Structure 1
Amino acid sequence: MDFLNTIFTFPTVVFTTLLLVVIGFWFIALLGFADIDMFEGDVEIEADGSDSLFQMGFGGVPLTISISLVILISWVISFYSHQLFEYVLGEGVVFYLLGAAVMFGCFVLSIPLTAILVKPLRRFFESKETASKNEFIGLECVIATSRVTGNFGQAKVQFQGTEQLIEVRCEEENEFKIGDSGLLIEHDELRNSYVVVVKPW
């Protein structure tokens, strides 16, 4: 009862709700009704010549895994913080103000911890991509981001019956928008991305 009271009391209840959503998503994914890469094309991360903190910490694994770990770790930290500091949270407005501060602190702490946990997972996702890098050249792709530049862009490509999300680059800006078709002509080892051009036909 003490456990249930804690996880369904503010601020931990916020992470409990998110965790239940995550559990529901992975249950649906296990049944085959959801793809773990389903959100990759909807998130645009600006590079500006160098990787952002998010890219450096979470790059190489599907976004759904990173988000799930952030929520799980936040929930664990919040649960134990709630247990330790519930008697100093006070009541009324003070309770919610301090609770919100604890909730924010748990979220901030979960980010570097998640970045550490995803590092050993990268090789499982990178190995599949490495094996098929050269085989993607010459294939058509569908742009999955609102634009493709020399530093940013993603596209979906059909390969061996599965749809994969890859990084693409185009030196000519404004050539592509989301939903456009392109042709993969080269793999850039340095940037681990593909050069995409407008289809000649």
Structure 2
Amino acid sequence: MRVALSFPTAVFSFLLIVVVGYWIVVITGISDLEGDAPWLGFGGVPAGITISLLVALAWLLTLIGSQFAAGPLLWAVPVLALGGAWLATRVLIAPLRRLVPDGPQPSRGDFVGQRCVIRTGRATPDFGQAEVTAADGSSAVVQVRTTGQDRLTRGQTALIFEYDADGEFFWVMPYESEQ
């Protein structure tokens, strides 16, 4: 305990307490892991994971280094520990970076404004499914609903004009192509 609260380990002990507090907040659901840390050079991996690992490794390396350094050399320990933690974090985060796709993730809202093809026998205000093609070329079958008296049948093209998040379906209307 004495070593963790004395210089140079105390520099990172405080940060480690902040990291533990952050994870308590995340686990309790008060916050989440949004955002990444491109400014750290670890783009694509959530900042909470990256910074937590960096601080934990820097604290551990400072704790170890403080046992072997003395006098003026003790002032170099936090700097060397941070550099070592930086390199170790880059190595440890590399496999995670491959698991996290680059760029913004597609959402259901991306289908708004797209044409779709009715795939069920009919689409009404209460029932219907349609196939829609995403910008990347993949297709999805989605729940759709019509407004008013619109009734669409299998194979008809419709235009998605809104997403209802509560009902988890798309509002569609007949689409007439200009030919």
TM-score between the two structures when normalised by the length of structure 1: 0.49
* CA shift in 2, pair 1:79/1:63, >3 Å: same
Alignment partner of 1:5: what SS? coil
Partner of residue 81, structure 2: 106
Structure 1 position 100, deviation (Å)? 3.0
Say if 2:7 is the partner of 1:23.
Answer: no
Partner of residue 165, structure 1: none
Deviations 1:32-67 (A, max 9, x none): 001221x54xx774xxxxxxxx43xx1221011111
CA distance in 2: counterparts of 1:110 and 1:117, whole angstroms: 10
Gaps of at least 5 residues in structure 1 are 46-53, 140-184, 188-201
Deviations 1:155-190 (A, max 9, x none): xxxxxxxxxxxxxxxxxxxxxxxxxxxxxx966xxx
Which structure 2 residues correspond to residues 153-164 of structure 1 after superposition, within 5 A?
none
Q: Tell which has more relative contact order, 1 or 2 (C-alpha 8 A, sep 6+).
A: 1
Say if 2:137 is the partner of 1:137.
Answer: no
Partner of residue 124, structure 2: none
Which structure 2 residues correspond to residues 27-176 of structure 1 after superposition, within 5 A?
27-37=24-34, 40=36, 45=39, 54-55=40-41, 58-85=42-69, 88-89=70-71, 94=72, 98-126=73-101, 133=106, 135=108, 137-138=110-111
Deviations 1:99-134 (A, max 9, x none): 33211111011111101111222344339x89x537
**AA matched with 1:113:** A
Partner of residue 168, structure 1: none
* CA shift in 2, pair 1:44/1:112, >3 Å: closer
Partner of residue 148, structure 1: none
Structure 1 position 17, deviation (Å)? 0.8
CA distance in 1: counterparts of 2:81 and 2:45, whole angstroms: 22
Give aligned-pair identity as a percent: 29
CA distance in 2: counterparts of 1:64 and 1:30, whole angstroms: 12
CA RMSD of aligned residues (A): 3.1
Structure 1 position 138, deviation (Å)? 4.8
Alignment partner of 2:101: what SS? helix
More helix by share: 1
**AA matched with 1:105:** L
CA distance in 1: counterparts of 2:8 and 2:111, whole angstroms: 52
* CA shift in 2, pair 1:32/1:10, >3 Å: same
Greater C-alpha Rg = 2
* CA shift in 2, pair 1:28/1:83, >3 Å: same
